[in-house]
Structure 1
Amino acid sequence: MNNAQKIQAGFDITNLSGNAKAVTFDVPVIVDADGEPVAGLTIVGKNSEEYRVANNAVRAEGYKKSARRKTAIDASTDEGAEQLVQAIDGNQKRLALAVVTGWYGFTHDGAPAPMDKALLEAAFDKYPTWQEKVTLALENDANFLKV
């Protein structure tokens, strides 16, 4: 039975306790020929402190920029549309980076590589599908509900 099926059977109300341990989810980004994960990213969900802090910062900065600009971005122009796309993409990357709390399967000189947000950001730039995988996993609440 997967998490979604267990959740349909009921939700244990004790999971609302403030002392509950953060639920993480592993997002494979590299798989072997058999489809088994070789390396991936461990993330927390939208209910986590990491996500909430990053989301609030993104929203607050958006409001500040809008107040300084005094007008909305004009997406009907090439320049405005590009500006809007860059803002949205940048915000999505910030949120994806914020929820990654660890990784597995990454090495340096044969030893496990310690998690490094700067390297992770570089990886998202080089492999945009990794960021997309994190974003997709983040959207699925069943990945983070403890049953």
Structure 2
Amino acid sequence: MNNAQKIQAGFDIGNIHAAATPVTLDVPVIFDADGEAVAGLTIVGKNSEQYRVANNAVRAEGYKKSARRKTAIDASTDEGAELLVQAIDGNQKRLALAVVTGWYGFTSNGAPVPLDPALLEAAFEKYPTWQEKVTTALENESNFLKL
């Protein structure tokens, strides 16, 4: 039975007071010729401290920028639309970076490489689909419910 099926069967509300244990999900990003995952990113969900801190920072900065501008971005102009897209994309990237807690399958000269936030950000720049995979996985709450 997968998490979605367990959720449909019911949720023991007594677990609401239990100590939260971080739930991670491996998001594969590189596959071999047979379609097997050889490298990927380990993420935590929206209920994690990492996500909450990053989301709070993004929201607070947005409010500060809005207060300094005194007006909303005018998305009806080319300049305004571009500013809005940049803000949204930047916020999504920050949240995706914040939830990656590890990676697997990445090596240098045959040796495993520990997670490096700068390399991860560069990877998201070079391979935007990796960030999209993290964001998609993050949006599916059932990936992170431990029942």
Give me the CA root mean square deviation. Answer: 1.1
Aligned residue in 1 for 2:83: 83
Aligned residue in 2 for 1:16: 16
Structure 2 Cα separation of the partners of residues 116 and 12 of structure 1: 38
Aligned residue in 2 for 1:69: 69
Identity of aligned residues (%): 85
Which runs of 5 or more structure 2 residues have no equivalent in the other structure? none
Aligned residue in 2 for 1:56: 56
Tell me whether 1:141 sits opposite 2:141 in the alignment. Answer: yes
Q: What SS is found at the alignment partner of 1:97?
A: helix
Structure 1 Cα separation of the partners of residues 99 and 16 of structure 2: 20
Tell me, yes or no, if the aligned pair for 1:39 and 1:105 is still in contact at 8 Å: yes
TM-score, with length taken from structure 2 = 0.95
Aligned length: 147
Deviation string 1:80-108 (CA, Å, 9 cap, x unpaired) is: 10000000000000000000000001011
Q: CA deviation at 1:15?
A: 3.7
Structure 1 Cα separation of the partners of residues 82 and 9 of structure 2: 46
Q: CA deviation at 1:35?
A: 1.9
Q: CA deviation at 1:14?
A: 4.7
Q: CA deviation at 1:54?
A: 0.3
Aligned residue in 2 for 1:31: 31
Q: What SS is found at the alignment partner of 1:19?
A: coil
Q: What SS is found at the alignment partner of 1:25?
A: strand
State the AA in 1 paired with 2:88: I
Deviation string 1:41-69 (CA, Å, 9 cap, x unpaired) is: 00000010000000000000000000000
Deviates more, 1:38-47 or 1:9-18: 9-18
TM-score, with length taken from structure 1 = 0.95
Structure 2 Cα separation of the partners of residues 21 and 91 of structure 1: 26
Structure 2 Cα separation of the partners of residues 81 and 72 of structure 1: 11
